[in-house]
Amino acid sequence: MHAPEQFDAGLMWFRRDLRCQDNAALFHALRACRRVYGVFVFDTEFLDPLPRADRRVEFMHRSVEALDADLRALAGNADAGLIVLHGPARTLLPELAQALHVQAVYTNQDYEPAAITRDNQVRGGLANVGISLRTAKDHVIFERDEVLSLSGTPHTRFSAYCAQWLAQLTPFHARAYEVETHAARLATRPEVWRTPVPALQELGFHATNLAQLALLPGRAGALTQWQEFAARMDQYHLTRDYPAVRGPSYLGIHLRFGTLSIREVVQLAWDRYRQGDPGATKWLVELVWREFYIQLLTHFPHVVEHAFQKDMDRLPWDHGPHGRKLFAAWCAGQTGFPLVDAGMRQLHATGYMHNRLRMVAASFLTRQLGVDWRWGERHFAEHLNDYELASNNGNWQWAAGTGCDAQPWFRIFNPTAQSLQYDAQGKFLRRYLPELARLPDEEIHAPERASPIELEAAGITLGVDYPAPIVDLGEARRAALQRHAAIQQERRR
Ligand X SMILES: Cc1cc2nc3c(=O)[nH]c(=O)nc-3n(C[C@H](O)[C@H](O)[C@H](O)COP(=O)(O)OP(=O)(O)OC[C@H]3O[C@@H](n4cnc5c(N)ncnc54)[C@H](O)[C@@H]3O)c2cc1C
Query: Minimal distance in Å, beta carbon 248 to ligand X?
Result: 3
Q: What is the DSSP letter of 241?
A: T
Which residues 6+ apart lie within 8 Å of 132 measured at CB?
Answer: 103, 104, 105, 126
Is residue 372 near ligand X by the rule CB under 6 A? no
**266 is an annotated ligand-binding site residue:** no
Q: What is the DSSP letter of 259?
A: S
Residue 373 designated active-site: yes
Taking CB under 6 A as the criterion, which residues in 206-225 touch ligand X?
none
Is residue 386 near ligand X by the rule CB under 6 A? yes
How far is residue 451's CA from residue 89's CA, in Å, rounded to a whole number? 60
Query: Based on CB atoms, which residue is closest to ligand X, 31 or 155?
Result: 155
Query: Minimal distance in Å, beta carbon 259 to ligand X?
Result: 12
Q: Hey, what amino acid is at 196? A: P
218 and 18 Cβ atoms separated by less than 8 Å = yes
135 and 129 Cβ atoms separated by less than 8 Å = no
**292 is an annotated ligand-binding site residue:** yes
Q: Edge-to-edge strands of the sheet including 7-14?
A: 82-87, 33-43, 7-14, 104-108, 132-136
Query: Based on CB atoms, which residue is closest to ligand X, 67 or 251?
Result: 251
Q: Which of 93, 251, 476, 480 binds ligand X (CB under 6 A)?
A: 251
Q: Which of 13, 242, 293, 337 binds ligand X (CB under 6 A)?
A: 293
258 and 17 Cβ atoms separated by less than 8 Å = yes
| Helices first, then strands: H and E counts in the chain | 21, 5
Taking CB under 6 A as the binding criterion, the range among 141-149, 192-200, 394-402, 409-417 that sits at the site for ligand X is 394-402
Residue 286 designated active-site: yes
Is residue 395 near ligand X by the rule CB under 6 A? yes
Query: Based on CB atoms, which residue is closest to ligand X, 293 or 308?
Result: 293
Taking CB under 6 A as the binding criterion, the range among 246-254, 272-280, 434-442, 473-481 that sits at the site for ligand X is 246-254
**245 is an annotated ligand-binding site residue:** no
Backbone angles phi, psi at 82, to 5 degrees: -90, 140
Residue 289 designated active-site: yes
**291 is an annotated ligand-binding site residue:** yes
User: Cα angle at 291 between 267 and 403, to 5 degrees?
Assistant: 150
Is residue 235 near ligand X by the rule CB under 6 A? no
Query: Minimal distance in Å, beta carbon 388 to ligand X?
Result: 4
Is residue 346 near ligand X by the rule CB under 6 A? no
Query: Based on CB atoms, which residue is closest to ligand X, 432 or 466?
Result: 432
336 and 466 Cβ atoms separated by less than 8 Å = yes
* Burial label, 477 (beta-carbon count in 10 A; 0-12, 13-18, 19+): middle
Is residue 249 near ligand X by the rule CB under 6 A? yes
**286 is an annotated ligand-binding site residue:** yes
412 and 475 Cβ atoms separated by less than 8 Å = no
Residue 355 designated active-site: yes
Is residue 339 near ligand X by the rule CB under 6 A? no
How far is residue 402's CA from residue 384's CA, in Å, rounded to a whole number? 22
Query: Based on CB atoms, which residue is closest to ligand X, 58 or 386?
Result: 386
**293 is an annotated ligand-binding site residue:** yes
Is residue 421 near ligand X by the rule CB under 6 A? no
Taking CB under 6 A as the criterion, which residues in 255-284 touch ligand X?
255
Q: Which of 45, 234, 286, 405 binds ligand X (CB under 6 A)?
A: 286
Is residue 248 near ligand X by the rule CB under 6 A? yes
By C-alpha distance, which of 341, 347, 350, 332 is closest to 433?
341
**18 is an annotated ligand-binding site residue:** no
SS3 of 304, please? helix
By C-alpha distance, which of 296, 309, 274 is closest to 409?
309
By C-alpha distance, which of 26, 18, 112 is closest to 57?
18
State the catalytic residues: 286, 289, 317, 355, 373, 396
- Which positions touch ligand X (CB under 6 A)? 240, 248-252, 255, 286-287, 289-290, 293, 355, 358-359, 362, 380, 384, 386-388, 391-392, 395-396, 399
Binding-site entries for FAD: 236, 283, 286-293
